[in-house]
Amino acid sequence: MYKPEISRLYHYQSIELELKNTKDFERRAIVIGDNLFLDKYKLDPILKRQAYFSKATTFNDPFEGVFALSSDVSSINDLMEVLEIAGQLTGFQISDLIHSDTLSNQLAASLQEHPQAITKSFTDQIRQQTGLYCLTADPEDMIMWAHYGSNHSGIALEFDRTPESNCGTMTFEVDYFTSPPEISFGAILRDCIKLSKSKSLIEKANLMSNSSLRKLLYSKTSKWKYESEWRTSNLPGLQDMPGKLVSIIFGYNVKLGVIEYLKSREELKGVSFKCIHPDKSNYKLKMYDEDDITFQVQRVMESIP
């Protein structure tokens, strides 16, 4: 398992409905109190133990996946094999077409004449068809709570990492760079072929950990290094959570009604609840269990005028 010393990973997100228009309200609002609305699109997946895997093309980094790609004609055989595998996966019988000398020659000519266009088109398809779920190893990061935890009024989901789960096996740290790495188009094709033929989760993870696909999907500019991001991948959209949901952590601005509502849900039985609170003695955030006596005393002391 990659970095087994990291036993838990966290996902910051909002939970209240951030109203944009009337249609959003009608479709997504869950009323839990006076002027207190949860977002159905955020709550339902948690109750069903699902996570939304986003396409990299929708991320907030304009340079996400934009790298220099090297290509050579020797990549043609790999490209033909990838196309054949794709045909098998979709059930479309293209074997005769794939083994056509005419097609092979045409692809070779195209790769020679328009290498950047061909390689970019292929890698764009990988990014379009891969869903990513973003995590971090630090549940007390002030900037992450501000940016992704709805300005401290959201939540963080805590996941257990085990060798049997995607969170433990198919989850890796993002690599940060000052100048974009060059990625071989042929290497990407060969890695696609190897992954398609691997049998077990551990085998896939070992291949992915040192692959060109990891460079493509798990790299960002150093401007984002403060996030200390981890990622796991799946098909885009709602999928099973990457690991066991251990706890829900409330930002320090979460309304009491939201806390009481989530704690009352039968679907979250067995999930623990924690709270983030500012430690004013050292200007840091600190995580407490909900029933932590130190936290309760601190709350009472701060409520005294």
Counted domains in the chain: 1
H-run or E-run covering 130: none
Concatenate the DSSP letters of all residues of 211-237 into one string: SHHHHHHSEEEGGGGGG-EEEEEESSE
Domain membership flag for residue 138: yes
Residue 92 lies in a domain: no
Q: Is residue 270 part of a domain?
A: yes
Residue 200 lies in a domain: no
Q: Looking at the domain assignment, is residue 248 inside a domain?
A: yes
Tell me the per-residue pLDDT of 179-234, one tens digit each, with 9 for 90 and over. 877 787 778 878 877 887 787 888 888 888 888 888 888 999 999 999 999 999 99
Please state, in angstroms and rounded to a whole number, the distance separating the CA atoms of residues 287 and 279: 10
pLDDT on residue 99: 43
Give the pLDDT confidence of 27-46 residue by residue, as tens digits.
899 999 998 999 999 999 99
* pLDDT at 287 (0 to 100): 94
Average pLDDT of span 55-59: 86
Task: Provide DSSP, 153-205.
Answer: TSEEEEEE--TTSHHHHSEEEPEEESSPPEEEHHHHHHHHHHHHH--SHHHHH
Helices assigned H by DSSP within the chain: 22-28, 40-47, 75-90, 95-98, 101-113, 115-128, 142-148, 166-169, 185-197, 201-209, 212-217, 256-264, 293-303
Task: Report yes or no on 114 lying in a domain.
Answer: no
Cut 0.95: pTM above it: no
Domain that includes residue 278, residue range: 8-60+131-180+219-303
In a domain, 1, yes or no: no
What pLDDT score does 91 carry?
Answer: 43
State the number of CA atoms in the 13 A half-sphere of 90 facing the CB.
10
Summarised one tens digit per residue, pLDDT across range 71-129 is 654 566 666 666 565 554 444 343 443 344 554 555 556 555 655 666 677 777 778 88
Residue 16 placed within a domain: yes
Per residue in 149-175, pLDDT tens?
Answer: 999 999 999 999 998 899 999 999 999
